Structure 1
Amino acid sequence: MYIYNVTINIDETVHEEWLTWMEIHILEVLNTGRFTSAKLTEVLVEEEMGGKTYSVQYTTNSREDLDDYYKFDADKLKGEAFKKFADKMMTFRTELKVINEFFPTVTSN
């Protein structure tokens, strides 16, 4: 399993508009069929540059699905954000490979 993480700092002046747009954008990314789920999270660290920071974590089952997203979908979907919010946001992307997942065990008393 892989996680494609996009971290975004968005200017306060367009924050609400961006957040509404982002919820639609995440669904568009999921509708490419390359990802199984997504989480939108707020980063709880104040940035010196101001604004609000978010992380979107898209989960995919294979490296091939992630590569296909880059090859066939990413430029078009990323381009929409840059047209709309280019001078009001900063982004960086990280790829993560899940090694193992852990869950609490339930014990009976």
Structure 2
Amino acid sequence: MVLYNVTVGIDPDVEHEWLDWMQSVHIPAVMHTGMFVEHKVFKVLSQEDEETVSYSIQYFAKDIEFVMKYLNEFAPPLVEEHKNRYQNRHVAFRTLLQQV
């Protein structure tokens, strides 16, 4: 199992609208690609930066080939849509982890 984790720091002024959009539009679009078998969303409770509220969006894939296909074929327009919608209102970083 491989975990593709996206951590997003979002401006508190748009937090609720962003979370609703993520859960109703963005995450379903990612899952619709068929590259992931499950997802989870966590709010980060311990934060150093009080200017943003952070969330961890976790996507689980059977193996790394599915994640690589997602990143190469499906992610660019989805990432661009998120970037354009929340321009200057978020920061994001991605981590790829393998279950041991």
- Indicate the TM-score class for this superposition, using the shorter chain for normalisation: over 0.9
Structure 1 residue 12 and structure 2 residue 18: aligned?
no
Q: What pairs up with 1:80-95 in 2 under 5 angstroms?
A: 80-95=81-96
By how many angstroms is 1:48 displaced?
2.4
Q: Cα RMSD over matched residues?
A: 0.9
Letter paired with 2:34: G
Provide the identity percentage.
36
Match of 1:2 in 2: 2
Structure 2 spans left out of the alignment, 5+ residues: none
Whole-angstrom distance in 1 between the partners of 2:93 and 2:64: 19
Whole-angstrom distance in 1 between the partners of 2:39 and 2:70: 14
By how many angstroms is 1:49 displaced?
4.4
Structure 1 spans left out of the alignment, 5+ residues: 100-109
Q: Which string of whole-angstrom CA distances, capped at 9 and with x for unpartnered residues, describes residues 11-34 of structure 1?
A: 011111101111021111000000
Letter paired with 2:80: G
Match of 1:107 in 2: none
Query: Which aligned runs of 4 or more in structure 1 are off by greater than 3 angstroms?
Result: none
TM (normalized to structure 2)? 0.94
Q: What pairs up with 1:1-109 in 2 under 5 angstroms?
A: 1-23=1-23, 24-99=25-100
Whole-angstrom distance in 2 between the partners of 1:18 and 1:47: 21
By how many angstroms is 1:50 displaced?
1.8
Q: Which string of whole-angstrom CA distances, capped at 9 and with x for unpartnered residues, describes residues 31-77 of structure 1?
A: 00000000000000133242210000100001110110011101011
Whole-angstrom distance in 2 between the partners of 1:71 and 1:8: 20
Whole-angstrom distance in 2 between the partners of 1:68 and 1:46: 32
Whole-angstrom distance in 2 between the partners of 1:46 and 1:59: 24
